[in-house]
Amino acid sequence: MAEAAAATKKPSSWRILGQALRNRKTGFMLLFGFASGLPFALFLGTLFAWLTEAEVDLETMGVFSLIGLAYAFQFIWSPLIDKVDLPALRRLGKRKQWIIPMQLLLGAILVTMALLDPRSQLGMFSLLAGIGALASATQDIAINAWRIDVADEKATLDVLSTVYQMGFRLSSLAGGALALIIAERIGWPMTYTMMGAMLLAIGIAGLFAPDAGRGASDGSIENDAQVRALRRAGALAPKVRYRALAVVGLLWAGTIAVLLDFMIRSMTALPENRPDPTEFTLTWGPWVIVATIVIPALIAGWLAGQQSKGHNLLAEDAPAASGAAFALDHLYRALVLPLVEFVGRMGWSLVLILALVLTYRICDAIWGTFAYPFYLGELQYTKDEVAFASKIFGVGAIVLGLAIGGWMLTALGRMPTLLIGGLLAALTNLLYADMAAGGQVIGALANGSGFSALVSSFPGGSERLARLMLTIGGENLAIGIAGAAFVAWLSSIVSKQFSAVQYALLSSLTLLVGTLGRGALGQMIERQGYYDVFILTTWIGVGAMALVVLEWWRQSRTGARGVVTPEAGVAVPAE
């Protein structure tokens, strides 16, 4: 009896965690996370320090910031990454055929930029930065899909998601504070050459990363099988699918046209005729989401309903598609089928899922824009103090939070960690509320714990700096735990068959409320001050935890059973 009990005893969380960390997939996940975060830091942060030193005007730097749209709207070309095989690169694997070329391209772009002078060659400089942002966003789509695809019982999805974020955060430190320190000593060209060499090395090392569970040829066979299944008895009639495809295709094509028009006018028009990026985001941002996500999701829901009710279905196998019909079937599989699978699998639970995706990270998503005005303007800290507290100490706190979050995911489970991390992240807004009110509580905590004395013992340290470090460190520690849980949960609800499209869509939604809410939050700060804003964001975060509890209850009811995708005819396991 004792032997049987020992045999069935669940391994300890430390043992599971140790097995995952020793797995080679985990090591490559750390590399890929680093490669994902480094271009983001170099193109959307550190680059502006180089442009400032090169005396590029602020108006032009504002145009450079538009390359961030590549990250915000990466889901638009995610079907391409999910469906298309690159010639001569199929042998690398379904995801690696996109990851490796993008990493090598990014490395080459950074090295080439190092050879240019931003003042005299600004046109080529900006073109390379734009191409780099597109390559970086494409790499992110493929890396997120690779993480979901390769997860197994040893290298668990929770651990891989946590390690990915660790790599991402470490690269933000390398591409941010470390790059500034290096540039001060050897100059920007050599700094960007070093960073480019890092990405080239990662791209070469990535050739030896394990495949996403199947070869590229197997992925092509699976794609073809899914397309052929569209014409089997019981599948939706082609005319119904084509009508849905026409609507979704027109909406996505229109969105791409609007974004291209905005980018071209911003890059080519005179400064006085350039469109306002903030106004564009606030005006067109919601419509982009409606056109590319909301309406297609409603159409997908209707298609899934037709399937479940037995309406508009083929009574018998239809002839194999050829010509235009063959192309339309493949386009439907790439663009519409991922949505149909997700909506059909989730049903009415989709409302809860979307509400949680939109609100879980709302506290730090909205507040992040106003952090530096709060530190530098309201609290009157120096740039050096803020840089040390946020970019060095703060990044360390996030990495520690991620490590704790990874252990909690293994020891407690996904949903408890999601709840605890989100609640801590919400409550840390009270630390900022205290700072806005004078910092008496956080000051007493810093003094009573001896943290103030420790910080004051270092050159440039002070009790004021200790309060700021404790506040930022506490928030970032909570964000690390919440971030580890959120990415793991988000990754767990997508299908491995359509991971690139579904994850890209859901992750894009996490930015929506924060982007649209910053204008209103800025007005509230002007009228009522920071204290009231921090109290509000705390309550919003606590409210989001009610959605976590509901999602926890939903998962406990549905369990982890597989869900059959009607049109693909393949069982999709729920992670």
3-state secondary structure of 564: strand
With bands split at pLDDT 50, 70 and 90, how would you rate the model's confidence at 573?
Answer: very low
* pTM greater than 0.85 (yes/no): no
Return the percentage of the chain with pLDDT > 70, whole number: 84
Range 208-212 average pLDDT: 83
Q: Where are the domains of the chain?
A: 13-213, 220-335, 350-572
Q: Which of 381, 374, 387, 421 is nearest to 545 (CA)?
A: 421
pLDDT for residue 365 is more than 70: no
Neighbours of 242 (CB within 10 A): 17
Confidence of residue 1 (pLDDT cuts 50, 70, 90): very low
List the CATH code of the domain at 13-213. Answer: 1.20.1250.20
Q: Please choose, from the candidates 217, 191, 236, 228, the residue with its C-alpha nearest in 3D space to the C-alpha of residue 85.
A: 217
Percent of the chain's residues with pLDDT above 90? 27
Q: How confident is the model at residue 548 (pLDDT cuts 50, 70, 90)?
A: very high
At residue 221 the predicted structure's pLDDT band, cuts being 50, 70 and 90, is: low
Predicted confidence band at 35 (pLDDT cuts at 50, 70, 90)?
A: very high
Cβ distance 156 to 396 under 8 Å?
Answer: no
Q: pLDDT by residue (tens digit) across 154-182?
A: 888 888 888 999 999 888 888 887 888 88
**Best mean pLDDT range from 15-29, 253-267, 468-482:** 468-482
- Determine the Cα–Cα distance for residues 342 and 548; give it in Å rounded to an integer: 19
Choose the weakest-confidence range: 319-328, 512-521, 561-570: 561-570
How much is the average pLDDT of 430-454?
Answer: 90
Handedness of CA 67, 69, 72, 76 (dihedral sign): negative
For 248-278, the pLDDT digits (tens) are 999 988 988 887 887 777 766 666 677 776 6
Domain 13-213 identical in fold to domain 350-572: yes
Residue with tokens 């538009």: 66
β-partners of residue 359 are none
Q: Which fold has domain 350-572?
A: Growth Hormone; Chain: A; (1.20.1250)
